[in-house]
Structure 1
């Protein structure tokens, strides 16, 4: 299975693009889509999900142009949008049965499928309570469940971990890691830790354009031998970051322990192993 996004743009007016000339080829596995708020991630995902049409370009799934044949994509798609809504008076079972009917999903295995999803997302105990009584994280987990109801071949999650606590994030990552053996999973986030532990490939966006795409090893090459750590006086921080990218700064006695990115490290700096957050900050700050 291959999803080809070919020179796709979404133009809102004469000078404003949501996505501009975006091209990428996606195969089975997990693609982590990273970018700051306003980077165009949601706009891109809505075009892939056939919610919106691009201004120009093509989106091809297994040689089928889904802009011309949206149903071909929709039959194979599970989608959790960023602005997912629920019916507060329904319980989780009722809501998922309703969504299944809307998607044309049925059969003798539907109830067991719903129960399995609810169990996997730690919602069984609350499954018969009205969704309106759920916390934000629980509602988000119901959204994840509805995206997986139809055993999709392409799953799109737009900021899926919003509202989830650390334990729920781990549970979610384990769930989609199992999915990725059989389908394409696109996971969008501005939180690097949601991506770095599970993504087979990473795409980094800014202002609607693609900055970098590849394996995490490919992405890290942008900051090879550029990440350092040192201690500085607190009053020197402003001057220090004038020509350097600060990744983190933490108190150490009366000084700051600073992790930073540069081509010209200061004296007494220690070279550090680069990680995905380093590369993400470097690309979004310099490109």
Structure 2
């Protein structure tokens, strides 16, 4: 079913009715969570906060003095990211109707009409950029780079055509700490550059693990993910290479202290071990699941640790 078919199935008379009249509050909340891809959205807020926090730390600035700037940065960037995710749902409705894990999204079920979804995505995006313009131009530019990359270069251009889509999509997620950092200080600093590098590299094996687990769904939907096009062996080798690229990065963050360096290095070595072992595992589903779980916990621990070791309590 293509987008035109889905649009035509949503009659004008139906779309004119208020959504809340046809669904209870629980369904509405569930649909909104799905539309906003809430877990993904929340996961992207943490790097923004970490970038902001570390910029304060390295600038010897007080959080209380920048509370207003913090609220503008977090709310503005969250709205921009939410807008991008909603627009992704709007554009991908045809392939979402094929994949089992996305068939219940409100864009597919018709609970929220596609025209409404498009309007929501645009409004969220505009509101987010308006708020970010009250922070700094640099922060707004990085937010725009992330939004444009995700909506146009990833969703609309590369996702269905090229395995390079994962690399392109990783850029949009990797700019998040730069948004937070540049609300306070210039982005031409080693710390935000390394934060970008960590997130960019991390997203590759993380996304590949998801693609391995959902390989047949992506294949059915015609999405050019690496496991679909080149198989699991090639995917495993690339995952190993990307994780290995994470190994030297903690060296550039030695200013965060010995504790951070040791823990970050240990996390990298464990992940590298998982990937090496994965080359010899026959159970690809199990390998992908282990890798996915580890990657989620890895990035959460790493970025929370950055905040913890630079908090006043730890000093």
Please give the range of the TM-score, normalised by the shorter of the 2 chains: under 0.3
Q: If the length of structure 2 is used for normalisation, what is the TM-score?
A: 0.26
Relative contact order higher in (CA < 8 Å, ≥ 6 apart): 1
The structure whose residues are more often helix, as a share, is: 2
The structure whose residues are more often strand, as a share, is: 1
Q: If the length of structure 1 is used for normalisation, what is the TM-score?
A: 0.28
Greater gyration radius:
1
